């Protein structure tokens, strides 16, 4: 990332001036989730200049005249993390009259799920610019960003039980225990290992890699990958994912 981009991203949440060639009164904010160890984290930006210096915010920015909403969210995510094809879905538009200082700004929020191996470190940004924070225990956030986060977590908790999106938080190859810990982290629950395993295996959504975990000080687990194609087949037949 060029330093111009970094500087743009750093100041992208500052009230004014809004860059030329972008839509007025409309912004994008991204809720970027990651799973670190077995903790659900969210990527926050610390404002480096201006009035909001030192405060934490969701990464966001403005929408260009000639780009779709999703494109804008995707571009902002890419500029920040370098990730080009994330799992990215619209969360909600937030538009309370006074949510943003000085001017009426409606923000359209997206949430992204990225896996730790796609984005092991905060590249381009120093640790003081951006950092992963426990999603359930963040510092105070600017504007209505806390409300956005709370809403996003609730949606994530709901979605993860009803759609197979959790895989996006894992590396391509993963063990069943990793998958289980993902659910435990997001939903704040404890699950029974043998039962969880059977339930998932019966869905026929996991393809064994015929490979084992490496570098662990105990019996190595089998690695699996999410079988997207079979998921498409199954959903066409009326299959519904539920955990």
Partner DNA sequence: CAGCTTGTGGTCAAAACGACAATAAGGCTA
Partner DNA sequence: TAGCCTTATTGTCGTTTTGACCACAAGCTG
Nearest-approach distance from CB 242 to a copy of itself, in angstroms:
7
Q: Kind and range of the H or E element at 158? A: helix 145-162
Please identify which residue in 51, 93, 209, 220 interacts with DNA, judged by CB under 7 A: 220
Q: Which of residues 108-127 bind a copy of itself (CB under 8 A)?
A: 108
CA angle 49/50/51 to nearest 5° reads 130
Q: Which does 233 bind (CB under 5 to 8 A by kind): DNA, a copy of itself, none?
A: none
Q: Which does 104 bind (CB under 5 to 8 A by kind): a copy of itself, DNA, none?
A: a copy of itself
Backbone torsion region of residue 73, taken as left when φ is above 0, otherwise alpha when ψ lies between -120 and 50, otherwise beta: alpha
User: Judged by CB under 7 A, does residue 187 bind DNA?
Assistant: no
Can you name the residues that pair with 114 across neighbouring β-strands? Answer: 34
What does the per-residue mask of binding to a copy of itself show for 68-107, with x meaning CB under 8 A?
xx--------------------x-xxxxxx------x-x-
CB closer to a copy of itself, 39 vs 89 = 89
DSSP output for 23-80: EEEEEEEEEEEEEETTEEEEEEEE--SSTTTT-EE--EEEEETTS-HHHHHHHHHHHH
Nearest-approach distance from CB 181 to DNA, in angstroms:
9
Q: Binding segment for a copy of itself among 50-58, 62-70, 127-135, 224-232 (CB under 8 A)?
A: 62-70
Nearest-approach distance from CB 80 to a copy of itself, in angstroms:
21
CA distances from 32 to 50, 95, 113, 222 (A): 24, 20, 6, 29
Please identify which residue in 67, 133, 138, 197 interacts with a copy of itself, judged by CB under 8 A: 67
CA distance 227 to 58: 32
Please identify which residue in 221, 225, 234, 241 interacts with DNA, judged by CB under 7 A: 221
- Cα-Cα-Cα-Cα torsion 149, 155, 161, 163, nearest 10 degrees, comes to -120
User: Judged by CB under 8 A, does residue 185 bind a copy of itself?
Assistant: no
Nearest-approach distance from CB 159 to a copy of itself, in angstroms:
10
In our burial notation (b when 16+ CB lie closer than 10 A, e otherwise), range 66-102 reads eeeeeebbbebbebbbebeebbbeebeebeeeebbee
CB closer to a copy of itself, 55 vs 144 = 144
Site residues, DNA (CB under 7 A): 175-177, 192-195, 197-199, 202, 212, 216-222
Site residues, a copy of itself (CB under 8 A): 23-26, 63, 65-69, 90, 92-97, 104, 106, 108, 158, 162, 242
């Amino acid at each position: 990332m060029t330093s111009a981009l970094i500087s743009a991203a750093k100041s992208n949440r500052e009230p004014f001036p809004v860059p030329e060639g972008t839509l007025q009164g409309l912004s994008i904010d991204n809720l970027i989730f990651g799973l670190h160890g077995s903790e659900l984290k969210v990527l926050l930006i610390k404002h480096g200049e201006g009035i909001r210096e030192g405060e934490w915010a969701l990464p966001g920015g403005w929408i260009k005249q000639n780009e779709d909403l999703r494109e804008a969210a995707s571009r902002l995510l890419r500029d920040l993390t370098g990730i080009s094809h994330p799992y990215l879905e619209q969360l909600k538009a937030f538009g309370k009259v006074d949510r943003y200082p000085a001017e009426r700004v409606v923000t359209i929020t997206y949430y992204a799920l990225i896996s730790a191996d796609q984005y092991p470190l905060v590249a381009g940004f120093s640790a003081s610019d951006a950092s992963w924070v426990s999603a359930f225990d963040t510092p105070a956030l600017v504007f209505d960003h806390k409300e956005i986060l709370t809403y996003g977590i609730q949606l994530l908790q709901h979605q993860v039980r009803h759609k197979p999106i959790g895989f996006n938080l894992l590396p391509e190859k993963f063990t069943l225990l990793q998958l289980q810990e993902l659910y435990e982290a997001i939903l704040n629950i404890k699950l029974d290992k043998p039962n969880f395993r059977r339930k998932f295996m019966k869905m026929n959504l996991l393809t064994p890699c015929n490979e084992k975990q490496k570098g662990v000080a105990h019996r190595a687990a089998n690695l699996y990958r999410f079988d997207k194609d079979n998921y498409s087949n199954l959903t066409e037949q009326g299959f519904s994912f539920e955990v």
